[in-house]
Amino acid sequence: MAASLTTGIGKGGGVPPIGSGWGGGGGGPHGHGGSRRASFTGLWVLLAAIIMFFAALVSVYVVRRGISDDWVATPLPSLIWWSTGILLASSAALEIARRALRNGRRVQFNGWWLAGTTLGLGFLAAQYMTWQVLWESGYYMASNPSSAMFYVLTAAHGVHLLGGIIALLYVALQAVRLRLGPGKRTIADVSTAYWHFMDGLWVFLLVLFLVRG
């Protein structure tokens, strides 16, 4: 895929550049600016729904931990630091790629985007390996409310990230088909913003596991 991703070099899009920051754009509701704006609005609204979903799970975490005496903290495997590092790196790679696309450096975009996507898949693999380590140490879903919550939250986060991976691959496909450029990059920007959010959400969950484990 790397080879085909780079075939878009130099073929600039005919569409004029659109605003430079997040959620920029403008113009009428049916123009390109309008569709860019709607894409970002859709994203923010989606994130609000996701926040409520995780807020419910986290409130169960806090309440279930507080109401009874059967909560035994699940030890976090050291692997979790590796997966965190991988996720942060993937976010950084996607951000560099996004900026490269905005400035019309499409070769750079292709490389960094591919790196970011691969690291994202790497994070999911690392999370699965974390589960394996826990299984080997005898921590299953039904072992304890703390391990149950760990599996639920990491799985819920993983499912949302998997959705993000699909978006990243879709963007890659658009790049392969030479459909991206400085004037047509909303999908890359929106996917990156979603990815950063998932990154932040993971850091929040990690802090929760550490502080209220």
Partner 1 sequence: MSEPAAVPVHHAPRGFVRRYIFSTDHKVIGLQYFFLALFSVLVGMLLSLAMRYHLTNPDAKVRLFEMLWPDGAAGGLMTPELYLSLMTIHGTIMVFFVLTTAPQSGFGNYFLPLQIGAEDMAFPVLNMLSFWTTFLALVVLLAAFFVEGGAPLGGWTAYPPLSAIPAAGPGQGMGMTLWIASVGLFCVASLMGAINFITTIIDLRCTGMTLARMPLTVWGWFVTAIISLLAFGVLLAAAVLLLLDRGAGTSFYVPGGLIVNDRLLDHKGGSPLLWQHLFWFFGHPEVYIAILPGMGLVSQVLSVFARKPVFGYKAMVTAMLAIAVLGFVVWGHHMFVSGMSPYSAIAFSVLTMTIGVPSAIKTFNWIGTLWGGSIRFETPLLFAAGFVSLFVAGGISGIFLGQPTLDLYLHDTYFVVAHFHMIMGVAAIFGIFAATYYWFPKMFGRSMHSALGKAHFYLTFIGVYLIFVPMHSVGLAGNPRRYPDFKEFEFLAELGGAHTFISLAAYFTAAVQLLFLANLFWSMWKGRPAAANPWEATTLEWTVASPPPHDNFGGVTPQVHQGAYEYSVPGRSRDYVMQSEP
Rounded CA-CA distance 120/83 in Å is 9
Q: Is 43 helix (H, G, I), strand (E, B) or coil?
A: helix
**Residue 34 in the binding site for partner 1 (CB under 8 A):** yes
**Residue 69 in the binding site for partner 1 (CB under 8 A):** yes
Work out how close the CB of 94 gets to partner 1 at its nearest, in angstroms, rounded to a whole number.
Answer: 23
Rounded CA-CA distance 200/174 in Å is 26
**Residue selected from 14, 16, 20, 49 as contacting partner 1 according to rule CB under 8 A:** 49
Q: How many CB atoms lie within 10 A of CB 66?
A: 9
Between residues 4 and 41, which has the closer beta carbon with respect to partner 1? 41
**Residue 42 in the binding site for partner 1 (CB under 8 A):** yes
What is the radius of gyration, based on Cα positions, of the chain? 20
**Residue selected from 56, 73, 166, 173 as contacting partner 1 according to rule CB under 8 A:** 56
Q: For tokens 């879903």, name the residue.
A: 141
Total binding residues for partner 1 by CB under 8 A?
Answer: 35
| 29 neighbors 35 (Cβ within 8 angstroms) | no
In angstroms, how far is CA 170 from the centroid of its own chain? 14
**Residue 187 in the binding site for partner 1 (CB under 8 A):** no
Binding span for partner 1 by CB under 8 A among 7-15, 62-70, 74-82, 104-112 = 62-70
**Residue 72 in the binding site for partner 1 (CB under 8 A):** no
Rounded CA-CA distance 139/151 in Å is 10
**Residue selected from 2, 9, 15, 55 as contacting partner 1 according to rule CB under 8 A:** 55
Which tokens is 105 given? Answer: 């450096």
Q: Is 181 helix (H, G, I), strand (E, B) or coil?
A: strand
Between residues 60 and 176, which has the closer beta carbon with respect to partner 1? 60
Binding-site ranges for partner 1 (CB under 8 A): 28-30, 34, 37-38, 41-42, 45-46, 48-57, 59-60, 63-64, 67-71, 141-142, 145, 148, 152, 156
